[in-house]
A and B are shown apart, each in its own frame.
Chain A
Amino acid sequence: MSDAAIIMGKAIKPKTSTDDWIMRAMMLAIAAYLLLAIALPLYAILSKSFQDPDGMYIGLTNYITYLSTPALTWSIGNSFKVTFVATVIVLFIAFIYSYALTRSCMPFKKIFKGVALIPLLMPSLLPAIALVFFFGNQGVIKEWLFGYELYGPIGIVMGEVFFVFPHVMTILLISMSLSDARLYEASEVLGASKIRTFFTVTLPSMRYGLVSAFFVAFTLVITDFGVPKVVGGQYNVLATDVYKQVVGRHDFQMGAVVAMALLLPAAFAFIADRLVQRKQVALLSARAVPFEPKPSFTFDMVMFAFCALIALIITSVLAMAAYSSLVTFWPYNLTLTLKHYNFDLMDGGGWSSYFNSIELATYTAIFGTIVIFSGAYLVEKSRGFHKGRSIMQALCMVPMAVPGLVLGLAYVFFFNHPDNPLDFLYHSMPILVICTITHFYTVAHLSSVTALKQMDPEFEAVSQSLKAPFYKTFWRVTVPVCTPAILDVSMYLFVNAMTTVSAVVFLYSSDTTLASVAVLNMDDAGDQSPAAAMGMMIVMTAATVRLIHMVLTRGLTQRTQAWRQR
Chain B
Amino acid sequence: MSAETSDPYLKISNLTKNFGNFTALRDISLEVFEKEFICFLGPSGCGKTTLLRAIAGLDIQTAGEIHQKGKDISALPPSERDFGIVFQSYALFPNLTILKNVAYGLENMKKDKAYIAKRVDELLELVGMPEQGDKHPAQLSGGQQQRVALARALATEPGLLLLDEPLSALDAKVRAHLRHEIKELQSKLGITTVMVTHDQEEALTMADRIVVMNNGVIEQVGTPFEIYREPASPFVADFIGTTNFIKGTLTNNGQVQVGGMTITVTGTSKDLSNGSEVLLCIRPEDVLTGSRADDADNKVESAIDHVEFLGSFHRVHMKPIAGDGTDFTVDVSVARAREMDLSLGAMLKVALPADHMNVYPSVS
Residues of chain A touching chain B, judged by Cβ–Cβ distance below 8 Å, are 1-5, 7-17, 19-20, 383, 456, 458-459, 461-469, 472-473, 476-477, 480-481, 560, 562-566
Contacts and interface: CB of A to CB of B under 8 A. Distances in A.
A562 B75 contact: no
B23 A12 contact: no
Contacts of B87: 456, 458, 461-462
Interface in B1-60: 13-16, 18, 21-23, 26-27, 56-58, 60
B138 A562 contact: yes
Nearest to B100: A476
A15 B80 contact: yes
B138 A8 contact: no
B95 A481 contact: yes
Indicate the member of A2, A13, A461 with the most B CB atoms within 10 Å: A461
A11 B96 CA distance: 40
A485 B21 CA distance: 37
Contact of B60 (A14, A19, A473, A564): A14
A15 B23 contact: no
Given A461-B78, A465-B78, A563-B95, A10 B21 contact: no
A12 B74 contact: yes
Contacts of A462: 85, 87, 91, 152
Interface of A is mostly: loop
Given A8-B64, A465-B84, A560-B95, A14 B75 contact: yes
Nearest to A562: B136
Indicate the member of B91, B135, B215 with the most A CB atoms within 10 Å: B91
Contacts of A4: 18, 21, 23
Nearest to A14: B60
Given A12-B60, A464-B78, A476 B93 contact: yes
Contact of B94 (A15, A473, A563): A563
Interface in B100-116: 104-105, 108-109
Interface string B164-175: 000000000000
Interface string B92-134: 0111100000001100110000000000000000000000000
* A-B interface, 5 closest residue pairs, ranked by CB to CB distance from nearest: A9-B64, A9-B14, A466-B105, A17-B77, A563-B136
Indicate the member of A3, A11, A456, A458 with the most B CB atoms within 10 Å: A458
B322 interface: no
Contacts of A473: 93
A74 B214 CA distance: 66
Interface in B148-201: 152-153, 155-156, 158
B61 interface: yes
B83 interface: yes
Nearest to A16: B77
A564 B138 contact: yes
A315 to B, nearest CB: 40
B79 A17 contact: yes
A467 B156 contact: yes
A1 B83 contact: no
A239 to B, nearest CB: 44
A19 B156 contact: no
Contacts of B27: 5, 7-9
B21 A12 contact: no
A466 B60 contact: no
Indicate the member of A2, A467, A560 with the most B CB atoms within 10 Å: A467
B75 A12 contact: yes
B64 A465 contact: no
A554 B121 CA distance: 35
A1 B216 contact: yes
B16 A9 contact: yes
B127 to A, nearest CB: 16
A564 B95 CA distance: 8
12 contacts: A2-B22, A4-B23, A9-B13, A12-B63, A19-B77, A461-B85, A464-B79, A465-B56, A465-B105, A466-B155, A477-B93, A563-B94
A122 B266 CA distance: 87
Contact of B79 (A3, A9, A19, A563): A19
B215 A1 contact: yes
A563 B137 contact: yes
A518 B27 CA distance: 70
B139 interface: yes
Contacts of B139: 562-563
Contact of A476 (B22, B65, B96): B96
Contacts of B58: 461, 464
B166 to A, nearest CB: 12
Nearest to B94: A563
